[in-house]
């Protein structure tokens, strides 16, 4: 028997051993000054509120109930010393909103819930549940943790999946334990509460961000001829990491060696802009002015619309940069990482692994929308893009606006599905 009793000054734990000889608790406290009851709670002799009368030998009585001082009540919390739970962190539990029972502390297979939390934080840092403290775990979230703590069935399936992963190549036939484990997890109720999925403020902020980027881009395109290519690069750079969130850094004026263009002569080429993604992989971006006829040549070649000089030149330039970067290899990775250490997130190293290029230039061809030429140009432009898609992404400024419009439309649908913001 194990139960908690709420007192004005704190919590009391009452315990009677299920063993035939109930006196083992008192014996352990007298001889070792320590006894673990309920397979979890560790008490010292000073915690015992009702020591047995040794002369009457009440400690051997099967019906004797030990009363331990479990927690002190103060400032709206039950204060539990970490030693009682076998951890180095004090535990504070709000004195209202949670029913204190063994299940609050112990999961299946006698796993200590607060022990698992303590493994993730520094020793001595309080673990606070409920109440109005800023560092408290909200009671609904703590209840969700208890409800989704791994049970025996899940632990057994996980263990089988790990075994199958190690020896699955050597034993045949072998039940697909991994598949069974994944199927079990899919059947379980989601660990995310319904409230956790509601993020109207975040959606609104995202929506406003992309609307601002789109409107700024449209405004600049209306007066495109009055701005230099450097102006366009600086403007696009301000939005680049927002439009393409996979990238975490933009490097400018990146100098790379060229030992192949002129045999026996080492030259230095300079890439205007280089992108680095969250894994350190390096890509190239070329940003050109949005000229009207920079994508397809004005004059078709045998009824085929071919790349304009601006696009063809940009593709060739990007391909050469990619070639020289790949040839630089490991030495280049080390040199660029050291050179741009301050511009990279801490601990991130640049990797030159199948780099790609992105070219942003020009606008879509603009013949009459219902003319045969419009459909033909659209098809040929798509063919050109797909031809280089394995190493170069070709985007017109109209493509950027379409991409932004699609993102905005998707965010608007999600925002409409959320509850109104109060």
Whole-angstrom Cα Rg for the chain: 34
pLDDT of 254? 92
* Predicted local distance difference test score (pLDDT) of residue 284: 92
Provide DSSP, 126-189. -EEESSS-TTPBPHHHHHHHHHTS--HHHHHHHHHHHHHHHHTTTSSS---HHHHHHHHHHHSP
Q: What is the pLDDT along the chain (422 residues), one digit of tens a residue?
A: 899 999 999 999 999 887 667 788 888 898 998 999 888 899 999 999 998 876 544 445 667 889 999 999 999 999 999 999 999 999 999 998 889 999 889 887 788 889 888 888 888 999 999 998 988 999 998 888 888 776 666 666 666 665 555 545 544 545 565 566 566 666 665 555 555 445 677 788 888 888 988 998 898 888 877 788 888 888 888 788 888 888 999 998 899 999 898 888 999 999 988 999 999 999 999 888 888 777 888 888 888 888 888 889 989 999 999 999 999 989 999 999 999 999 999 999 999 988 999 999 888 876 545 556 777 888 888 898 898 888 889 988 989 899 899 989 998 888 777 654 44
Report DSSP letters for 12-37, one per residue.
EEEE--SSS-TTHHHHHHHHHS-EEE
Give the pLDDT confidence score for residue 236 in this predicted structure.
Answer: 83
The DSSP H or E segment spanning 359 is strand 357-360
Output the pLDDT for position 221: 87
Is there a contact between 65 and 15 (Cβ–Cβ < 8 Å)?
yes
């Amino acid at each position: 028997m194990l139960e908690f009793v709420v007192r004005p000054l704190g919590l009391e734990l009452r315990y009677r051993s299920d063993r035939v000889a109930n006196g083992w608790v008192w014996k352990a406290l007298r001889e070792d000054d320590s006894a673990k009851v309920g397979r979890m709670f560790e008490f010292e002799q000073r915690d015992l509120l009702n020591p047995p009368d040794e002369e009457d030998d009440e400690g051997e009585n099967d019906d004797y109930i030990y009363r331990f001082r479990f927690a002190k009540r103060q400032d709206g919390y039950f204060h539990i010393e970490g030693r009682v739970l076998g951890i180095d962190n004090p535990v504070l539990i709000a004195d209202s909103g949670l029913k204190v029972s063994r299940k609050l502390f112990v999961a299946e297979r006698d796993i200590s819930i607060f022990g698992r939390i303590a493994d993730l934080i520094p020793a001595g840092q309080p673990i606070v549940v409920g109440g109005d403290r800023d560092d408290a775990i909200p009671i609904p979230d703590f209840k969700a943790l208890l409800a989704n703590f791994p049970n025996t069935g899940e632990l057994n399936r996980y263990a089988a999946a790990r075994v199958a992963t190690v020896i699955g190549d050597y034993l045949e036939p072998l039940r697909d334990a991994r598949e069974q484990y994944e199927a079990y997890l899919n059947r379980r109720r989601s660990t995310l509460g319904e409230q956790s999925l509601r993020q109207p403020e975040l959606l609104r902020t995202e929506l406003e961000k992309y609307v601002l980027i789109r409107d700024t881009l449209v405004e600049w395109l209306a007066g495109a001829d009055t701005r230099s290519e450097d102006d366009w690069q600086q403007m696009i750079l301000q939005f680049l990491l927002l439009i393409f969130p996979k990238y975490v850094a933009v490097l400018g004026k990146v100098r790379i060696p060229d030992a192949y263009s002129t045999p026996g002569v080492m030259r230095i080429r300079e890439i205007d802009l280089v992108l680095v993604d969250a894994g350190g992989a390096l890509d190239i971006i070329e940003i050109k002015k949005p000229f009207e006829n920079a994508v397809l040549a004005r004059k078709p070649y045998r009824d085929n619309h071919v790349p304009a000089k601006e696009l063809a030149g940009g593709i060739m330039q990007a391909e050469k940069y990619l070639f020289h970067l790949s040839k630089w290899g490991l030495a280049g990775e080390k040199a660029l990482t050291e050179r741009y250490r301050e511009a990279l997130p801490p601990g991130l190293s640049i990797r030159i692994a199948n780099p790609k290029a992105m070219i942003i230039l020009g606008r879509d061809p603009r013949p009459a929308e219902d003319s045969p030429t419009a459909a033909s140009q659209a098809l040929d432009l798509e063919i050109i893009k797909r031809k280089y898609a394995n190493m170069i992404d070709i985007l017109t400024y109209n493509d950027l606006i379409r991409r932004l419009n699609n993102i905005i439309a998707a965010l608007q649908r999600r925002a409409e599905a959320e509850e109104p913001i109060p």
